[in-house]
Amino acid sequence: MLSPGDRAPEFTLSDHEGRDTSLTSLLRSGALILYFYPADFTPGCTREACAIRDLHAEILKVGLNVAGVSPQGADSHRRFREQHHLPFTLLSDPDKSVIRMYDVDGPLGFGVRRATFLIDPARFIRDAVLADFRISAHDAFISRALALAGT
């Protein structure tokens, strides 16, 4: 997994509407919480996404943006966003190229590790967490990012 101080690799992936979205475009409005998750509609990933949804106004208020990355396609992401009223971007990485760039591919190439990065506008990783099944560690990371951005 990439570490704080590493430069975040540039990428372009399709979003939930099928539009190409780059890391640079996501960083135009400020720092980014970029999170990787295994799959839409699974219990843990739904809980994680809904926790971000519930904090989204606060995330924007401190000048952060948020985007999620998983292997599912735009149609799955669109349905997941609609069903759970998710106000942030979901990106499709079906061949897991970006997942591998950020070194969060699952063991032996199966699945995706639950990881979250705080990336500044210059594309440096300021903080990171590998949460896997500990969704509370992901939640604590988001709270810490809010506190850092608010100061």
Domain residue ranges in the chain: 12-150
Mean pLDDT of the chain: 93
pLDDT digits (tens, 9 = 90+) for 28-40: 999 999 999 999 9
pLDDT at site 126: 94
pLDDT digits (tens, 9 = 90+) for 16-69: 999 999 999 999 999 999 999 999 999 989 999 999 999 999 999 999 999 999
Sign of dihedral through CA atoms 79, 80, 85, 88? negative
**Rg, the chain, Cα only:** 14
pTM attached to this predicted model: 0.92
pLDDT at site 78: 97
Cα 105 from Cα 53, distance rounded (Å): 24
Q: What percent of the chain has pLDDT over 90?
A: 80
Residue tagged active-site, from 8, 27, 33, 45: 45
pLDDT at site 150: 65
pLDDT at site 65: 95
Strand partners, 67: 34, 89
pLDDT at site 98: 98
45 among known catalytic residues: yes
Cα 97 from Cα 56, distance rounded (Å): 27
pLDDT at site 12: 98
**Over residues 70-96, mean pLDDT:** 97
* Burial class, 46, CB count within 10 angstroms (exposed 0-12 / middle 13-18 / buried 19+): middle
Residue 151 pLDDT greater than 70, yes or no = no
CATH 3.30.1540.10 assigned to 12-150? no
